[in-house]
Amino acid sequence: MDFLNIGSGEFVFLILLAILLVGPKRAVEWTQQASRFAARIRQEWLAVQRDVMREVQAIQQETTAALQPTLQEVSRDSQAVQQEGAEALRSFQEVAQEIRAFQEQVVSLPDLVEPTDDFAG
């Protein structure tokens, strides 16, 4: 034990010195008073902890309640964006199919014009 830089041997010495100075009867009374004081301090500390935890929970609930509409709106917007993205993908797929069909038509056409070297330098 090392409380306030007082070792256990020094602590025992201080207790014995207090008993010698004030007498055993008053030393017991002081010890009882100190114990009651420590218990009271502990009770007050626990009360403060409970109050702080209650306030933190209240703030957390208020924050959750305040953010709930925003979160719902974000969720709705996210779903809308996903739907628009799916529609855009379908549109791109349709355009790609049309391009492939047109490409197949162009490839299947007979060569109407024979290549010439007119543009060759």
Does 44 reside within a domain?
A: yes
Does 37 reside within a domain?
A: yes
pLDDT of 5 > 80? The answer is no
Domain around 74? 8-78
Say if residue 19 is exposed, middle or buried (CB neighbours under 10 Å; 0-12, 13-18, 19+): middle
pTM above 0.75, yes or no: no
Does 111 reside within a domain?
A: no
Does 83 reside within a domain?
A: no
Does 38 reside within a domain?
A: yes
Does 121 reside within a domain?
A: no
Query: Which range, of 14-18, 43-47, 115-119, averages the lowest pLDDT?
Result: 115-119
Using alpha carbons only, what angle is made at residue 33 by residues 31 and 38, rounded to the nearest 5 degrees? 95
Question: pLDDT of 32-47, one tens digit each?
Answer: 888 899 899 999 999 9
Total structural domains in the chain? 1
